[in-house]
């Protein structure tokens, strides 16, 4: 489905190389200005709670809305009630073990999570997840993980048949000044649209009816807050723009600021059109599981030694947790790029630690997977097919034998 002029999908041809593209700023500064990208006015400060993209009451959750994450808690309670009705149990504490999956960002390293999930199927024992969350490349994996092993072949194809040309088109270096990103991600939007079709939307809606939840995060860059999109509720709504909206949500979640164009969502306030500008969910967090408010009643029950439903958290970190050495030249762009990559790496580690300590507090079994130092293949360009296939095969082989999940993150003990 083609995108509209101001809703171009963001992409990702070369994260490291695109960061270095800022070096074109000095050269571009003396060039004649081109037409700059335009947008409708942003939603004014403090008014985000008054707008909606599709008019679906529970389509998303925002901390800058009154009761934003309390609404997330209500959504979880409603989902558990649907599970109770389906299974014929009287209390939430009587539900079978709940399985929660968080899939992080990581660009081409998303091949790790895809291989792990499919290898887990081959090994046996992969659960049907009650909650799946995704950020960036994790958002692209999340619908397949949510729908289960029947979708493994398509998940594999996403990460092993992809190539840089199917992700983004590099723009001229002048885009650093005159455009909204260094690359055009129309190819990524087309790739997403190939897999995310009406059949997948119907399957997501059916899973939502069963009481399972699929959540994807992006970042509202104007408001500087995360937005958690309730993909299952959007699919269930039957709205005529639901499919296109979910495609663009996945695109927004992977829209690395500066490298990929932001995704603009049309909203209306007081009868006037506005644009929300959304970028990579990783701008706020590389991975998330649930807001603290969701487990408040669980914590209170544990404090009183009352029974709670057993639960397991599975966290797939599409990246390493050990430092990655790289020579940094004594140049402004090189130093800045290395600093940015260091901050992203540190953010990913901190997110893992945050989830770990939250699950320990809430009496939830914690399990972590990440790319270990034994995988030493490198890539020459982002989304290099040979690299992604090698990483997929590595993770698949580990999981087929029985993946060695880590119970305590490195540095937490």
- Direct distance between the N- and C-terminal alpha carbons of the chain, in angstroms, rounded to an integer: 49
SS3 391: helix
Give the Cα separation of 282 and 348 in Å (integer).
9
Residue 256's pLDDT is 85
Say yes or no to pLDDT of 208 above 70.
Answer: yes
Tell me the pLDDT of the chain averaged across its residues: 89
Give the residue-averaged pLDDT of 191-202: 97
pLDDT band, residue 34 (cuts 50/70/90) = low
Give, in order, the Cα–Cα distances in Å from 332 to each of 22, 108, 362: 10, 26, 45
User: Global pTM?
Assistant: 0.89
Give the Cα separation of 371 and 293 in Å (integer).
31
Cβ proximity of 263 and 10 under 8 Å: yes
DSSP-H helix ranges across 310-383: 332-361
Q: What is the pLDDT of residues 342-376, one digit of tens each?
A: 888 889 999 999 999 999 999 999 999 999 999 99
Give the Cα separation of 371 and 285 in Å (integer).
19
Q: What is the pLDDT of residues 299-346, one digit of tens each?
A: 999 999 999 999 999 999 999 998 878 899 998 878 988 888 888 888
Q: Which two tokens stand for residue 264?
A: 């603009």
Residue 33's pLDDT is 46
DSSP-H helix ranges across 254-384: 296-303, 332-361
SS3 169: strand
pLDDT band, residue 20 (cuts 50/70/90) = very low
Q: Which two tokens stand for residue 261?
A: 């164009």
Backbone angles phi, psi at 35, to 5 degrees: -70, 125
């Amino acid at each position: 489905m083609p995108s509209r002029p101001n809703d171009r999908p963001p992409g990702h041809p070369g994260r490291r190389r695109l960061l270095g593209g800022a070096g074109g700023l000095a050269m571009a500064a003396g060039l004649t200005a081109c037409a700059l990208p335009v947008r409708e006015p942003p939603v004014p400060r403090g008014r985000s709670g008054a707008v909606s993209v599709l008019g679906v009451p529970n389509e998303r959750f925002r901390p800058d809305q009154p009761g934003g994450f309390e609404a997330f808690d209500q959504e979880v309670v409603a989902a558990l009630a649907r599970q109770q009705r389906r299974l014929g149990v009287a209390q939430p504490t009587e539900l079978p073990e709940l399985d929660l999956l968080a899939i992080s960002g990581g660009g081409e390293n998303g091949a790790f999570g895809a291989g792990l999930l499919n290898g887990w199927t081959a090994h046996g024992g992969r659960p049907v997840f009650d909650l799946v969350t995704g950020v960036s490349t994790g958002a692209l994996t999340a619908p397949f993980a949510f729908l289960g092993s029947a979708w493994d072949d398509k998940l594999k194809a996403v990460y092993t048949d992809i190539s840089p040309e199917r992700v983004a088109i590099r723009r001229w270096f002048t885009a650093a000044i005159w455009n909204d990103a260094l690359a055009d991600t129309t190819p990524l939007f087309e790739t997403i649209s190939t897999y995310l079709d009406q059949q997948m939307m119907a399957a997501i809606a059916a899973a939502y009816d069963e009481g399972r939840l699929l959540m994807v995060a992006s970042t509202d860059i104007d408001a500087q807050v995360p937005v958690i999109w309730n993909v299952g509720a959007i699919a269930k709504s039957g709205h005529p723009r639901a499919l296109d909206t979910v495609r663009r949500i996945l695109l927004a979640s992977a829209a690395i600021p500066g490298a990929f164009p932001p995704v603009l969502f049309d909203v209306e306030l007081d009868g006037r059109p506005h644009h929300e500008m959304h970028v990579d969910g990783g701008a706020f967090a590389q991975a998330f599981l649930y807001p603290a408010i969701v487990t408040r009643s669980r914590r209170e029950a544990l404090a009183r030694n009352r029974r709670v439903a057993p639960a397991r958290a599975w966290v797939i970190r599409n990246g390493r947790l050990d430092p990655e050495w790289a020579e940094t030249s004594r140049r402004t762009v090189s130093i800045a790029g290395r600093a940015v990559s260091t901050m992203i790496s540190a953010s990913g580690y901190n997110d893992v630690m945050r989830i770990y300590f939250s699950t320990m507090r809430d009496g939830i079994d914690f399990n972590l997977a990440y790319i270990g130092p034994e995988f030493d293949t490198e890539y020459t360009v982002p989304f290099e097919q040979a690299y992604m296939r090698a990483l997929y095969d590595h993770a698949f082989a580990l999981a087929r034998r029985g993946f060695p999940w880590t119970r305590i993150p490195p540095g937490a003990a």
